[in-house]
């Protein structure tokens, strides 16, 4: 049981780092991310604060705006205009782009 809670804590720390990095580097506005996650814009703005510690449910909602499989430090994928929705290769190819 102790190993499980330690593993969960590490997972939450990774999610927190991932969400924070996504908010800071995605190029999306705080408002767009907040709307996509159904959270208050102030919550997203506060991610820049070192002591930012959102509730578990808020973190889950924000994680849904992060492209699947993306983690803190990864290159930012091209997005289709919606916060957290990465464009697939076929959409880019249909526009004549690699």
| 9-44 confidence digits (pLDDT tens) | 666 788 999 999 999 999 999 999 999 999 999 999
For the cut 80, the answer to whether the pLDDT of residue 93 exceeds it is: no
Given pLDDT bands bounded at 50, 70 and 90, which one contains residue 91?
Answer: very low
Which residues fall within 8 angstroms of residue 18, CB to CB, at 6 or more apart? 63, 66, 70, 71, 72
Per-residue pLDDT at 94 = 40
Indicate the number of domains in the chain: 1
Q: What percent of the chain has pLDDT over 70?
A: 68
Domain span including residue 56: 2-94
The dihedral built from the CA positions of residue 40, 86, 56 and 45, taken in this order, carries a sign that is negative
For the cut 90, the answer to whether the pLDDT of residue 6 exceeds it is: no
Over residues 74-80, the mean pLDDT reads 81
Query: Measuring CA to CA, how many Å separate 27 from each of 13, 30, 43, 89?
Result: 22, 9, 17, 20
Tokens 């780092």 found at: 17
The whole model's pTM is what? Answer: 0.70
| CA–CA dist 5, 76 (Å, integer) | 31
């Amino acid at each position: 049981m102790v190993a499980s809670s330690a593993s969960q804590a590490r997972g939450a720390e990774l999610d927190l780092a991932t969400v924070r990095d996504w908010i800071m580097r995605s190029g999306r506005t705080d408002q767009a991310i907040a709307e996509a996650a159904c959270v208050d814009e102030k919550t997203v703005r506060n991610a820049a604060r070192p002591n930012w510690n959102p509730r578990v449910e808020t973190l889950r909602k924000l994680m849904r705006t992060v492209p699947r499989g993306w983690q803190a430090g990864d290159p930012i994928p091209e997005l289709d205009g919606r916060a957290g929705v990465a464009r697939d290769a076929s959409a880019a190819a249909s526009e004549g782009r690699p």
